[in-house]
Structure 1
């Protein structure tokens, strides 16, 4: 057993199979990277900026502290990314209506347009790769969402399936 994590249940899937699953995920991620050679016409973001932008887009009105916590970024790193996203016109800082001391983050219209272009790019790339065959896409997305959720919580993904 590796020292950096512990398993609560015996593995049902071999380490080799899981490693191959992770390797395939990484290869697919590289192929649909919006900063790659076939990139759509969107504003280029660093990995940290993309992580923060994704969270703000899915959670408009979140505070900077909530974004840092949810993305597991140090507050200083999150602040740098937010300043950059504001400078690029993708995020607006707004005063909370119930507390003038609090800041709420909102994606801008430019961010919404960039996300729309990015989603269209991903859909086109995957549609071509799948040759129109949508068998298993929803099941695969559900599986990946479950793994993502468990990894973010620090859970053993295998235990949540039981």
Structure 2
């Protein structure tokens, strides 16, 4: 299989598996429901705590107005805090509620994957390593 086909297949699988995992994400009183934009923003806030809204927009490749709307909503849901920093800057950080929410989600996701993968943790670790590398590439300053 040519390299471009293999890479396209990988991208297609990533998108589909992400959709399937999301479909099995728990809902209810112990999980804060987020929109797709809020999920993208929270991921960057978790990866880069203290990031400015403009940095979040750049790393998510979302329009600044969409990020601002998501930040307001996330603040209303008590998932982020915004604090002023030197000058006119704002630092965005995840809250304790966000950490608790992520803990619940990660436990549910781990259980779902364990059901499918069983004891094949080496494969899971290798896959996570590749996906982390891709994520860092897409969200890095060099990738923008």
- The offset of 1:154, in angstroms, is 4.9
Closer, same or farther in 2 for the Cα pair 1:154/1:26, shift >3 Å? same
> Residue 50 of structure 2: which of 61, 67, 70 is its match?
61
- Three-state SS of the structure 2 residue aligned to 1:32 is helix
Shift of 1:18: 3.3
Q: How many equivalent residue pairs?
A: 140
Runs of 4+ in 1 over 4 A off after TM superposition: 151-155
2:59–2:138 contact (8 Å) kept in structure 1 = no
SS at match of 1:92: strand
Q: What is the root-mean-square deviation in Å for CA atoms of aligned residues?
A: 2.3
Distance 2:126 2:98 in 1: 29
Q: Is 1:128 matched with 2:115?
A: yes
C-alpha separation in 2, matches of 1:122 and 1:103:
32
Q: CA deviation at 1:13?
A: 1.9
User: For 1:41-91, what per-residue CA distance to the aligned partner results, in whole angstroms no more than 9, with x for missing partners?
Assistant: 311111110010111112111111111111111111110110110111101
Flag the structure with higher helix content. Answer: 2
TM-score (norm 2): 0.83
**Structure 2 residues not aligned, in runs of 5+:** none
Q: CA deviation at 1:133?
A: 1.9
- Give the TM-score normalised by structure 1: 0.75
Output the CA distance in 2 between the equivalents of 1:69 and 1:23.
24
Over 3 Å counting, the alpha-carbon distance change for 1:75 and 1:88 in structure 2 is same
Q: Residue 75 and residue 140 in structure 1: after superposition, are their counterparts in 2 closer, same or farther (change >3 A)?
A: same
Q: 1:118 aligns with which of 105, 110, 113?
A: 105
Give the CA deviation at 1:135. 3.0
Specify the SS of the correspondent of 1:60. coil
Within-5 A mapping of 1:1-162:
12-15=2-5, 17-33=6-22, 36=23, 39-40=26-27, 41-96=30-85, 99=86, 101-152=88-139, 153-154=142-143
